[in-house]
Amino acid sequence: MANVDTEPKWYIIHTFSGYEAMVKESLLRLIENNNLQDSITDLKIPTEQTIEERANGKKKVVERKLFPTYVFIKMIYSNQIWYLVTNTRGVTGFCGPQGRPKPMSKDEIRRFHLEEYASDADFRVGDSVAIDNGPLEGFVGTIREVNPATQRAKVSIVMFGRQQDVEVEYVQMKKVEGDVPSEQSES
């Protein structure tokens, strides 16, 4: 058998419709009762608040599941954990080949907002950066604006022969020493 991972990864559990909260509560009890805090480190049901208008014209804020019938679980995979999770009432299985868990990619984790990515990078206006992730990977530019609250920066790059300002997450870029190469610098 392959090496057992020692770092927890995010996986997706499929549940019966409407059972998401019950599955999460059952798994929290399972973790507590079997002392699995080191094996299962987080459970999430991503939601968003929306405003619904009722028949009487009143508006009400309601919490809506972003991914109905799914619960996200951060765990260290083992056959024992797989057995315990899949035999929890309301769980139909893991998302993955033949019902075996397939870890989520970093891009999926970021896109589904399962974890807050805080960058310890200290970006400043005027810094030269290389974009090393995402659709703009490979571009080099200069930071024009920074927003530490959202962990994003506006970066000026040359695209199709024209200077463009693009918004980039801190985790998608790294500082480069020296100035931006001449073909990337402002005219």
With the CA atoms of 131, 133, 134 and 136 taken in that order, what torsion angle do they form, in degrees rounded to the nearest 10?
20
Q: How much is the pLDDT for 182?
A: 46
**Domain interval for residue 37:** 9-111
- pLDDT tens track for 61-97: 778 888 999 999 999 999 999 999 999 999 999 999 8
What is the Cα–Cα distance from 165 to 12, expressed in whole angstroms? 36
Assess whether 59 and 148 both reside in one domain.
no
Reading the block at residue 42, the tokens are 């987080």
Burial 146-181 (b: 16+ CB within 10 A, else e): beeeebbbbbbbbeeeeeeebebbbbbbeeeeeebe
Q: Is residue 18 part of a domain?
A: yes
3 lies in some domain: no
Global pTM reads 0.61
Mean pLDDT of 40-68: 84
Are residues 174 and 132 in contact, defined by beta-carbon separation less than 8 angstroms?
yes
For residue 122, tell me if it sits in a domain.
no
Task: Pick the more confident residue, 151 or 31.
Answer: 31
One domain for residues 77 and 14: yes
Asked if 93 and 20 sit in the same domain, the reply is yes
Same-domain status, 158 and 106:
no
State the CATH number of the domain containing residue 137: 2.30.30.30
My answer on whether 35 and 76 are in the same domain is yes
Residue 118 lies in a domain: no
Note whether residue 1 is domain-resident. no
Domain end residue (candidates: 84, 111, 138)? 111
- Output the six-digit token pair for 68: 């109905």
pLDDT band at 186; cut points 50, 70, 90: very low
Q: How far lies 108's CA from each of 10, 114, 163, in Å?
A: 10, 9, 30
Q: Do 60 and 90 fall within a single domain?
A: yes
- Pair 86, 157 in one domain: no
Cα dihedral 109→113→118→122 (10° resolution): 100
Pair 113, 42: CB distance under 8 Å: no
State the pLDDT at residue 176: 87
Residues of the chain with pLDDT > 70, as a percent, come to 89
Same domain? 44 vs 134: no
Question: In angstroms, rounded to a whole number, what is the distance separating the alpha carbons of residues 118 and 144?
Answer: 20
Number of domains in the chain: 2
What distances in angstroms separate CA 2 from CA 78, 93, 160, one per listed residue? 11, 22, 46
pLDDT bucket at 100, cuts 50 / 70 / 90: confident
